[in-house]
Amino acid sequence: MKTRRSWREKLAESNGLPKVGPITGKMTRRRGTGTMVIPALKEVGALMNKLIVFVKAPRPGAVKTRLAEVIGAPAAAAAYRHLVETLLNQLQALSGVEVCFSPDDAAGEVQHWLKEGWSSSPQGDGDLGQRLHSAFQRAFQAGAKHVAIIGSDCPAVRVEDIREAWGGLQTHDVVLGPATDGGYWLIGLRQLQPNLFREVHWSSENAFAETIERVHHAGLSVQLLRELADVDTDREWRVFLAAQNPDGIRA
């Protein structure tokens, strides 16, 4: 009995070329065989669009220090872990997310936060502006076209927010997500903009305004996302918990 040959096999034989494997959605190349398959659209998107999440090791005394003044350092560290897990669980539908951690020896402490297909890397040295610049630089050098970076203080961020940021970068140079405390919860770029990260008063109520001023001074176009609140204080923590349990049910 003859086996029916596919059009790929017929084409390969007629041109004296190696046989082409089935299209599985993952790009591979075997040395000396010429075998290549086409990446799925989802994988292409993950290469073009990049999300980086800045996190800290959940160490007592090093995270949520304002909250710790009220509830204590160990409880504040536990609160931070809960905030990060809430945020990352909401974003797990995204591919190729990079969790960028600080300090640089915290790889083991953040490993359990990674979802399937995600990666991690250290933030490196310098102030926040220098670390943001370095993260953008690495992403663009790796081939990303639209890069968004968020922190881990705003658990209200959704997949739709990130996709809106990537979409905005198709027509704007910069995308910013303003925070209610005067900072921003997201910054997105489509090419490196070093001046946006120099001499900014980070962790102040002026960080967003100073960044916008630099954007306009450089003649860049900007799209703003919705305003969201960070969770840094005891009041913000209690508001967050109440929103998670609107019926007030006690465990």
Rounded distance between C-alpha atoms, residue 3 and residue 198, angstroms: 66
Rounded to the nearest 10 degrees, the angle between the axes of helix 73-90 and helix 234-244 is 50
CATH class of the structural domain 42-244 = alpha beta
Rounded distance between C-alpha atoms, residue 100 and residue 93, angstroms: 18
Neighbours of 137 (CB within 10 A): 13
Domain definitions of the chain by residue range: 42-244
Rounded distance between C-alpha atoms, residue 90 and residue 110, angstroms: 17
Counts of helices then strands in the chain (DSSP H, E): 9, 7
DSSP state of 135: H
Q: What angle do CA 219, 201, 122 make, to 5 degrees?
A: 95
Residue by residue, pLDDT tens for the chain (251 residues) are 444 554 344 434 444 433 333 434 444 444 444 544 444 445 455 569 999 999 999 999 999 999 999 999 999 999 999 999 999 999 999 999 999 999 999 999 999 999 999 999 999 999 999 999 999 999 999 999 999 999 999 999 999 999 999 999 999 999 999 999 999 999 999 999 999 999 899 988 999 999 999 999 999 999 999 999 999 999 999 999 999 876 654 54
Residue 36, beta-bridge partner list: 29
Rounded distance between C-alpha atoms, residue 125 and residue 71, angstroms: 30
The H or E element containing residue 100 is: strand 98-102
Tokens of 101: 């951690």
Residue 79: Cβ-neighbour burial (10 angstroms; 0-12, 13-18, 19+): buried
Rounded distance between C-alpha atoms, residue 47 and residue 100, angstroms: 17
Edge to edge, the sheet with strand 174-178 lists 119-122, 98-102, 49-56, 146-150, 184-189, 174-178, 222-224
